[in-house]
Structure 1
Amino acid sequence: MPDPADPLILIIEDDAETAAAVAAIARGLGTRVALAATLAEGLAAARAGDPAVIVLDRMLPGGDGIAALAALRAGGSTALVLVLSALGRAANRVEGLERGADDYLAKPFEPDELRARLRALLRRGQMQVLDNDLIAFGDVEIRLKARTVHVGTRHVPVSPREFALVVHFARHAGQVVTRMQLLETVWNLHFDPQTNVVDVHVGRLRRKLEQAAGRPLILTARGEGYVFFPVPAVEGA
């Protein structure tokens, strides 16, 4: 029986077969699942259920899911939204992301890719930002004004560059962050200087965090960059 404390994933999808496949993947991540087959039902369920993540089809009875994102936010929903659509061209994806979606996946999809994207959104949903100062993921706390990092009661000493790195990772938790993104954001370089400066600094930060947490928090996405996983995996993931 689902635990009421488990995160809720709302699936707004009118194709029963697709909805069932998405629901099976979501339940495998240890979440509760709610289903809606029309846009109106989905908006009502979002208001009533407080989902952590919404999987939203575009072409729904009642309208375009993308067009409803503004109404969803106006209704007070803070859910992270993954658009799942047969409209999968680059222009469609850009439109969805620019109009407020947190992720966009084209149909037909690979189950493993959907599973990974949902897992990343669930982890992002565990981030809390309080008073524009504290970013917290479970036992990991980052104080923006004091520029400090703690894991539980343990203070993690970081250099100014390492602090900028961990803040960038925190704001993109569960997502692949490329070396070029880090060069642009943390070093303000818009070209690759062909050095290992990023790897050296990330390596130092990774060792400090892992020593304090007793578990790896920064993982290497081989050939792509890094992924920040500040909390243990969702049960069943």
Structure 2
Amino acid sequence: MPGPRAGYSAAVPTDAPARGLVVVVEDEPAIAEVIRMNLARAGYGVHVERDGDAGLSAVRTLRPAAVILDVGLPGLDGIEVCRRLRAAEDWVPVLFVTARDDEVDRIVGLELGADDYVTKPFSPRELVARVGTVLRRARGPLAGPAPLSLGRVRLDLADHRCFVDDTEVALTATEFDLLAHLMRRPGRVLSREQLISEVWGYSALAGNRTVDVHVAQVRAKLGDASPIRTVRGVGYGVEAAAG
């Protein structure tokens, strides 16, 4: 069966509620079709592009709920597509897919603001599950919980917004979820393995370096207001509020 054409949008099954549009940018037709089929079956709308330039244009035009982005694309590669989105203050959740199991590629992608990263070959069901996890982070809880505050940092959980003093700081969905997870547990130190399981929602196969890079990004964005501390050989935590 031939794969979808570039620019193809998959219809959402009538027996499944639409869960949002996902733009898939993947130049290998067979892989694009597997991703499209599994996302559509899970209730997502899907738009497929085959190169970085067309993918970037599609994201800017369609305003999807999430983007699945192959790193090794013709034209603009996936890393450059993500770079341009973030430079334009577009914080749509991005999940990188790559055939290269290279930690340098992984770190560069995460530092650009990617929310997750999977390496080929991957389980299509796992990829769909990770899309769902990232979207739940991005949308935040349905109810309106009280904001989290610690020192100069305040998290508006209902609107998924972060503030230092009165200035808003743009965090990716994963960065926000990581910071909120730590701020809900002041005084506790969580291991990298715990954070992978509890924040990312899957086993530590993603690697401890993933946590380190995201923590570094949060710290860089919050500057000297960052409440996150490192406990060598153990993990990360935030100080309990004084008094």
Alignment TM class, shorter chain as reference:
0.5 to 0.7
- The letter of the residue matching 2:47 is A
- 1:99-140 deviation digits (Å, cap 9, x = unpaired): 22111100111123212211111211212xxxxxxxxx2124
**5+ residue gaps, structure 1:** 128-136, 152-168, 192-220, 230-237
Contact 2:148 2:183 in 1 (8 A): no
- 1:12-46 deviation digits (Å, cap 9, x = unpaired): 01111111111122113211111111111101100
SS of residue in 2 equivalent to 1:84: strand
- Counterpart residue number, 1:139: 143
Please give the residue correspondences for 1:8-157 in structure 2 after superposition, counting only pairs within 5 Å: 8-127=21-140, 137-144=141-148
- 1:51-103 deviation digits (Å, cap 9, x = unpaired): 11100011111032112212122345331000000012233212211122111
RMSD over aligned Cα atoms = 4.0
1:142, 1:86 → 2: CA distance?
Answer: 42
1:172 is aligned to 2:185: no
Task: State the TM-score, normalized to the length of structure 2.
Answer: 0.57
- 1:147-172 deviation digits (Å, cap 9, x = unpaired): 9x999xxxxxxxxxxxxxxxxx9942
- Counterpart residue number, 1:131: none
Contact 2:24 2:68 in 1 (8 A): yes
SS of residue in 1 equivalent to 2:23: strand
SS of residue in 2 equivalent to 1:141: coil
SS of residue in 1 equivalent to 2:53: helix
1:171, 1:24 → 2: CA distance?
Answer: 30
SS of residue in 2 equivalent to 1:27: helix
Contact 2:82 2:112 in 1 (8 A): yes
1:170, 1:105 → 2: CA distance?
Answer: 17
C-alpha displacement at 1:228, in angstroms?
9.6
**5+ residue gaps, structure 2:** 1-10, 159-173, 202-243
- The letter of the residue matching 1:123 is R
Change beyond 3 A, Cα 1:14–1:28? same
Contact 2:65 2:93 in 1 (8 A): yes
69-78 or 48-57, larger mean C-alpha shift: 69-78
Contact 1:52 1:79 in 2 (8 A): yes
- The letter of the residue matching 2:70 is D
2:82, 2:199 → 1: CA distance?
Answer: 27
Task: State the TM-score, normalized to the length of structure 1.
Answer: 0.58
Contact 2:19 2:44 in 1 (8 A): yes
Number of aligned positions between the proteins: 168
- Counterpart residue number, 1:186: 186
Contact 1:50 1:77 in 2 (8 A): no
1:41, 1:99 → 2: CA distance?
Answer: 20
The list of structure 1 runs, each at least 4 consecutive aligned residues, that deviate by more than 6 angstroms after superposition, is none
Give the percent of matched residue pairs that are identical in Structure 1 and Structure 2: 31
SS of residue in 2 equivalent to 1:60: coil
